[in-house]
């Protein structure tokens, strides 16, 4: 059995960044990817706009991820491609992984795990589209795979349901390939995708966007022949009198993404109902000690730059965690090639911190600290991380949050026991656009049992 400090599951932008950053810390890293090539979903995202935040330039998806793949290879980090993890177990503070690939059934051991498993798309049936089961109904990601990776067109005259970014991107892509996109229908009163995508993918091509509309039914025995569309009321229920048929040969769905955490759930990791990703602390460690989450598995991002960032943070924290594990008597038998002492990261640890208890955390620093959950009120969809590991003094932490509704002028507020400790003013907060904050944790002068709250306050008159 091969042993590693850190095993990363998933070779997309999050996993690659995690692997590189864990390697930088000196950890012995293995990255497991189920597909034949690294890059994850970015392989098929040939449009531009990636990397503006990180590199200050507009790259295509493959160009963006190639920079990481290049560094990954330069660093000679180990990877197993076309390898599928079938089982994960935690025993004696380390993780046993079973995977299959064309060579057989493989077993690996790691002190820390980074779950960078990405997300999947919601399907037609999950949004209650009824009727027959013809060919021609598929998710935007599937259509994108066909068009960009296989060079095949799945659509002639198409209707797109959902104004998520992939749907918008595909509206433009299919148009450029000679398909006729009849319209994009969005059940919500405002678009789900980024404003820049609405402008560049729909407006520039005169593709109509029908807000507060949905597809309720599909027709056709063999091939899709038409869809039924309807306006929806304020509860998003279709209004009977507005139903009409639109003839088309394909229905492309962009109705939301779901973080893939089935593996995490098997390990017993608790998920946040709002993000559908694991609850985690500011080191992106989940509630199962030694497992870290990042990228779209943690929460659905709209910019890949932040996916990479969370990967880097999780990877570094996982490496530090693994080194702590070496310092522990009974765990010391696990040899680490990337020895912590070389990088000066080795810190004292004690045996019992592996059994992480509520109110306790053990990411990175190795000291037992207070762990406090951040409460969000109804003004926010979520905040990640959901918990803070305080008491380690000066430490920077990154937060990602989404507002629940559009706010023209507002203030983001952190309070500790009712006292404001941080505020930031925003203009045009929108649910589809995730916001990022980087704060020094020393701001939170909290005692165990303190109440930390996050909220967006609307400015009067806004």
User: Using the rule CB under 8 A, which residue among 24, 52, 66, 146 binds other proteins?
Assistant: 146
User: Using the rule CB under 8 A, which residue among 52, 66, 93, 142 binds other proteins?
Assistant: 142
Residue count at the site for other proteins (CB under 8 A)?
52
Q: What is the dihedral of CA 151, 152, 154, 158, to 10 degrees?
A: 60
The DSSP 8-state label assigned to residue 142 in this structure reads: H
Question: Does residue 177 interact with other proteins by CB under 8 A?
Answer: yes
| Binding string, residues 219-248; x marks residues near other proteins by CB under 8 A | --xxx-----------------------x-
With H, G, I as helix, E, B as strand and everything else as coil, classify residue 246: strand
| Binding string, residues 325-364; x marks residues near other proteins by CB under 8 A | ----------------------------------------
Strands (E), 342-460: 360-361, 369-376, 380-384, 387-390, 396-403, 407-416, 419-429, 435-440, 452-458
Among 143, 160, 141, 161, residue whose Cα is nearest residue 152: 143
Question: Does residue 157 interact with other proteins by CB under 8 A?
Answer: yes
Q: Are 366 and 347 in contact (CB under 8 A)?
A: yes
The 10 Å Cβ neighbour count of residue 91 is: 8
Question: Does residue 73 interact with other proteins by CB under 8 A?
Answer: no
For Cα atoms 151, 154, 158, give the angle at the middle one, nearest 5 degrees.
135
Backbone angles phi, psi at 293, to 5 degrees: -130, 145
User: Using the rule CB under 8 A, which residue among 180, 196, 244, 335 binds other proteins?
Assistant: 180
User: Using the rule CB under 8 A, which residue among 23, 121, 165, 435 binds other proteins?
Assistant: 121
Question: Does residue 76 interact with other proteins by CB under 8 A?
Answer: no
Min. distance of Cβ 451 from other proteins in angstroms?
30
Q: Specify the residue for token string 């003839």.
A: 247
User: Using the rule CB under 8 A, which residue among 130, 196, 335, 425 binds other proteins?
Assistant: 130
Question: Does residue 104 interact with other proteins by CB under 8 A?
Answer: yes
Q: Which is nearer to other proteins, 15 or 315 (CB)?
A: 15
Question: Does residue 134 interact with other proteins by CB under 8 A?
Answer: yes
Question: Does residue 265 interact with other proteins by CB under 8 A?
Answer: yes
Question: Does residue 128 interact with other proteins by CB under 8 A?
Answer: yes
User: Using the rule CB under 8 A, which residue among 154, 290, 340, 391 binds other proteins?
Assistant: 154
Backbone angles phi, psi at 272, to 5 degrees: -85, 125
Q: And the tokens for 241?
A: 């009198």
Min. distance of Cβ 106 from other proteins in angstroms?
9
The 10 Å Cβ neighbour count of residue 262 is: 9
Question: Does residue 156 interact with other proteins by CB under 8 A?
Answer: yes
Question: Does residue 445 interact with other proteins by CB under 8 A?
Answer: no
| Binding string, residues 294-323; x marks residues near other proteins by CB under 8 A | ------------------------------
Q: How far is CA 432 from the centre of its chain?
A: 14
Q: Specify the residue for token string 């769905």.
A: 253
Question: Does residue 188 interact with other proteins by CB under 8 A?
Answer: no
With H, G, I as helix, E, B as strand and everything else as coil, classify residue 410: strand
Min. distance of Cβ 348 from other proteins in angstroms?
38
Q: Specify the residue for token string 């798309």.
A: 121
Which residues on neighbouring strands pair with residue 403, listed in sequence order? 380
Question: Does residue 123 interact with other proteins by CB under 8 A?
Answer: yes
Measured in residues, the chain has a length of 462
Q: Which is nearer to other proteins, 16 or 263 (CB)?
A: 263
Q: And the tokens for 442?
A: 């020393």
Which residues on neighbouring strands pair with residue 439, listed in sequence order? 397
Question: Does residue 34 interact with other proteins by CB under 8 A?
Answer: yes
Q: Which helix (H) or strand (E) holds 158?
A: strand 157-161
Q: Which is nearer to other proteins, 120 or 210 (CB)?
A: 120
Q: Which is nearer to other proteins, 98 or 381 (CB)?
A: 98
For Cα atoms 118, 74, 301, give the angle at the middle one, nearest 5 degrees.
20
User: Using the rule CB under 8 A, which residue among 53, 135, 332, 396 binds other proteins?
Assistant: 135
Q: What is the dihedral of CA 146, 138, 32, 51, to 10 degrees?
A: 70
Question: Does residue 86 interact with other proteins by CB under 8 A?
Answer: yes
Contacts with other proteins, residue ranges (CB under 8 A) = 34, 82, 84, 86, 98, 100-105, 120-121, 123-126, 128, 130-136, 138-139, 141-142, 145-147, 149-157, 177-178, 180, 217, 221-223, 247, 249, 262, 265
């Amino acid at each position: 059995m091969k042993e590693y400090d850190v095993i990363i599951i998933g070779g997309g932008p999050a996993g690659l960044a995690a692997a590189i950053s864990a390697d930088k810390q000196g950890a012995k890293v293995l990255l497991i990817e189920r597909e034949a090539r690294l890059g994850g979903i970015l392989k098929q995202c040939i449009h531009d706009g990636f990397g503006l935040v990180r590199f200050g330039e507009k790259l295509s998806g493959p160009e963006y991820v190639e920079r990481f793949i290049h560094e990954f290879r330069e660093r000679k980090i180990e990877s197993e491609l076309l390898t599928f993890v079938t089982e994960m177990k935690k025993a004696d503070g380390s993780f046993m992984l079973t995977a299959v690939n064309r060579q057989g059934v493989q077993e690996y051991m790691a002190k820390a795990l980074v779950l960078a498993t990405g997300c999947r798309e919601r399907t037609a049936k999950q949004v209650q589209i009824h009727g027959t089961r013809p060919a021609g109904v598929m998710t935007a990601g599937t259509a994108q795979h066909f068009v960009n990776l296989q060079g095949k067109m799945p659509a002639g005259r198409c209707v797109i349901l959902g104004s998520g970014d992939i749907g918008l991107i595909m509206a433009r892509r299919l148009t450029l390939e000679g398909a006729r996109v009849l319209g994009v229908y969005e059940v919500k009163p405002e678009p789900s995708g980024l404003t820049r995508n609405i402008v560049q993918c729909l407006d520039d091509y005169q593709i109509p966007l029908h807000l507060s509309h949905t597809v309720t039914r599909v027709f056709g025995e063999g091939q899709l022949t038409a869809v039924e569309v309807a306006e929806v009321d304020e509860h998003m229920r279709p209004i009977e009198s507005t139903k009409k048929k639109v003839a088309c040969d394909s229905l492309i769905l962009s109705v939301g993404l779901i973080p893939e955490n089935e593996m995490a759930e098997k390990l017993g990791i608790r998920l946040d109902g709002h993000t559908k990703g694991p609850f985690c602390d500011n080191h992106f460690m989940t509630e199962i000690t030694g497992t870290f989450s990042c990228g779209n598995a943690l929460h659905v991002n709209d910019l890949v730059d932040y996916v990479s960032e969370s990967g880097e943070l999780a990877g570094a924290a996982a490496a530090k965690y693994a080194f702590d594990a070496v310092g522990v008597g009974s765990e010391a038998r696990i040899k680490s090639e990337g020895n912590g002492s070389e990088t000066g990261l080795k810190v004292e640890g004690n045996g019992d911190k592996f059994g992480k208890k509520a109110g306790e955390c053990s990411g990175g620093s190795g000291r037992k600290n207070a762990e406090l959950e951040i409460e969000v009120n109804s003004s926010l969809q979520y905040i990640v991380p959901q918990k803070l590991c305080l008491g380690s003094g000066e430490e920077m932490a990154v937060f990602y949050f989404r507002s629940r509704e559009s706010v023209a002028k507002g203030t983001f507020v952190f309070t500790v026991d009712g006292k404001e400790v941080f505020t930031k003013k925003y203009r045009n907060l929108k649910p589809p656009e995730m916001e990022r904050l980087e704060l020094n944790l020393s701001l939170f002068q909290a005692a165990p049992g303190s109440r930390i709250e996050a909220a967006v306050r609307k400015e009067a008159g806004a």
